[in-house]
Structure 1
Amino acid sequence: MATKIRLQRHGKKGKPFYYVVVADSRAPRDGKFIERIGSYNPNTNPATIVLDFEKSLDWVNKGAQPTDTARAILSSQGVLYKKHLQGGVKKGAFDETKAEELFTTWTEGKASRVEGEKSTLASSKAEAKKAALAAEAKKKEDKAAAIAAKNAPVAEEAPAEEEVEAAEGTEENTEETEG
């Protein structure tokens, strides 16, 4: 029986949520499966991946073939790297302690990159919020100034109109005297 590690879709329309499952390759996408080994939520930023590392490593070692997306998930969690290191130990390239040391170093580096990405997203979100508040405050000030300008000229318009009428009257008087 050919087994595959693949995603099983759940969630509502537009908000997918996936289970990472081991299933017979002939079974339908959301149908019968052998074992559920994790979950993947692409709706969060960064995406949330919960994976049973030991079960997934065991299935990969047994020969289960991951689909493209499942391969990316397994790779990001280090399952495929661990399998690669175990292959090196079997071939005698290095011993078990060296493999564990390499994997630990990789895991720590991966964790620091993820934390850096999260902090960058949080800081950019805070900056965007600060910019939006500043824009909103400026818009509010502009609106208040416009209202003040609209209310203040009402008292000043009457003298301005009188000046215009007086100026027009003087122009008419000069035309009459010239003509």
Structure 2
Amino acid sequence: MATKIRLQRHGKKGKPFYYIVVADARAPRDGRFIERIGSYNPNTNPATIDINFDKTLEWVNTGAQPTDTCRAILSYKGVLYKKHLQGGVKKGALTEEQADAKFAAWVEAKDGKITGKKDSLTSAKDEARKTALAAEAKKNADKAAAVAAKNTPPAEEVAEETEAPAADETAAESAE
């Protein structure tokens, strides 16, 4: 029986959520599966991947073939790199300690990249929020200035209004 590691789609239309499963190659996409080994949520940034590392490595070593997308996910999580290092240990090119050290260094570097991306995303979001707030404050100030200019009469009209009552009073005094 040929087994595949593939995605099983769940979730609403436009909001996919996937289970990572081991299934018979002849079974339908969302149908019967042998074992569920993880989940993948592409709706978050960066995508959320939860996987049972040991079970997945066991299935890959047994001969389960991952689909293209699952291969990318397993590579991202380091399952395929761990299998590669175990192959080097079997051939005698590496010792078990060297392979573990290489894998630990790889995991450390990968975690650094992921946290760097998360930090850059949050800082970009904060920066966008600050620029939007500054633009909104400027727009509000412009609106307030326009309203104030509209409500206060121009200086010429104020001067004419003060001169007009004075002229009326002088005209009334001269008429008497």
Common fold by TM > 0.5? yes
Match of 2:104 in 1: 104
1:60: which partner in 2?
60
Partner of 1:7: 7
Aligned ranges 1:1-179 → 2 under 5 Å? 1-153=1-153, 157=157
Q: CA RMSD in A?
A: 1.4
One-letter code aligned to 2:120: T
Residue in structure 1 matched with residue 174 of structure 2 by the alignment: none
Gaps of 5+ in 1: 161-179
Per-residue deviation, 1:158: 7.5
Structure 1 CA distance, aligned partners of 2:157 and 2:32?
81
CA drift of 1:159 comes to 6.2
Instruction: State the secondary structure of the residue aligned to 2:20.
Output: strand
Post-superposition offset of 1:153:
2.7
What is the TM-score normalised by the length of structure 1? 0.86
CA distance in structure 1 between the partners assigned to 2:156 and 2:11 by the alignment: 64
Q: In structure 2, what is the Cα distance between the partners aligned to 1:23 and 1:94?
A: 33
1:104 Cα offset (Å): 0.4
Letter in 1 for 2:140: K
Q: Which of structure 1's runs of 4+ aligned residues deviate more than 2 A? A: 153-160
CA deviation vs aligned residue, 1:31-60 (integer Å, no higher than 9, x gap): 110000000001111110000000000000
Letter in 1 for 2:42: P
Paired letter, 1:85: L
Aligned-residue offset at 1:75: 0.2
Q: How many residues align?
A: 160
